[in-house]
């Protein structure tokens, strides 16, 4: 991420907060976080601020288009430009397939699909107008999931939203390729996060994986950084599956 200005949506916690720390370690020049929890976002930016890097925070409900666009414009105003956008914000509901409520569908679609869409539109409009660096005007990385490609009756609404994000990624990539903007997604298998441990399904994830464990968050984050960093100059419209053999592309 050397010398790049990076914005992480959902960077206040979980994988997003880890990425906020790792982009600093990888040499990012500026870091911004868009999150519904401002306090968490401020905390996640402490490593960047400790190094004296310019930072920005915007509190936002990404389900709302005008809020999303205003939040992204706040990033541009504070940071000057955005080279890489990482879309991490999502919810992970679990509900048997015949019991999903309208409210649960609306929440999943609103955050996981519509929110990702709003942030991508805002980023593309900005990136199209900025000067390229080594022919690349910007990079967008969306977090999807292997659930998009497997039958998953315990959280079919979540899986459906992640399949939709894979499709959105491809459509955006095709549309902006001529502008020098690369759009990709990374699809992890189940991660050994604190939330997975608290909810008690980490053992279930481990049993389903040929490697016998869930992915450590850092093992997923390094692929996000590779896809959204300066070493990626040609890959676009791709979904990188990082599953430990849980699914073979």
Q: Give the N- to C-terminal CA distance of the chain in Å, as an integer.
A: 27
Q: What does the DSSP assignment read for the chain?
A: -TT-EEEEETTTSHHHHHHHHHHHHTT-SEEEEEES-HHHHHHHTHHHHHTT--EEEEE--TTSHHHHHHHHHHHHHHHS--SEEEE-------B-GGG--HHHHHHHIIIIIIIHHHHHHHHHHHHHHSPPBTTB-EEEEEE--GGGGS--TTBHHHHHHHHHHHHHHHHHHHHHGGGTEEEEEEEE--B--HHHHHHT-HHHHHHHSTTSSPBPHHHHHHHHHHHHSTT-SS--S-EEEE-TTSS--
Whole-angstrom Cα distance, residue 124 to residue 138? 8
The active-site residue out of 92, 117, 158, 246 is 158
158 in active site: yes
- Return the active site residues: 158
């Amino acid at each position: 991420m050397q010398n790049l200005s990076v914005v992480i949506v959902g960077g206040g916690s979980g994988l997003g907060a880890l990425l906020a720390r790792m982009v600093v370690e990888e040499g990012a020049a500026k870091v911004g976080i868009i999150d519904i929890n401002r306090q968490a976002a401020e905390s996640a930016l402490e490593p960047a601020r400790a190094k004296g890097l310019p930072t920005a925070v915007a509190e936002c409900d990404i389900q709302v288009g005008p809020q999303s666009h205003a939040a992204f414009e706040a990033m541009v105003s504070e940071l000057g430009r955005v080279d890489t956008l990482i879309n991490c914000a999502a919810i992970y509901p679990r509900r048997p397939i015949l019991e999903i409520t309208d409210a649960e569908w609306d929440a999943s679609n609103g955050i996981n699909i519509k929110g990702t869409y709003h942030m991508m539109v805002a980023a593309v409009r900005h990136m199209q107008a900025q000067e390229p660096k080594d022919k690349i005007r910007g990079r967008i990385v969306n977090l999807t999931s292997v659930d998009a490609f497997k039958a998953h009756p315990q959280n079919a609404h979540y899986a459906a939203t992640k399949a939709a994000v894979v499709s959105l990624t491809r459509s955006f990539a095709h549309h902006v390729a001529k502008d020098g903007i690369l759009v990709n997604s990374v699809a992890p298998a189940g991660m050994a996060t604190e939330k997975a441990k608290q909810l008690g399904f980490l053992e279930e994830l481990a049993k389903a994986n040929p490697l016998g464990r869930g992915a450590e968050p850092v093992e997923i984050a390094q692929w996000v950084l590779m896809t959204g960093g300066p070493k990626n100059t040609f890959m676009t419209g791709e979904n990188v599956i990082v599953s430990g053999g849980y699914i073979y592309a």
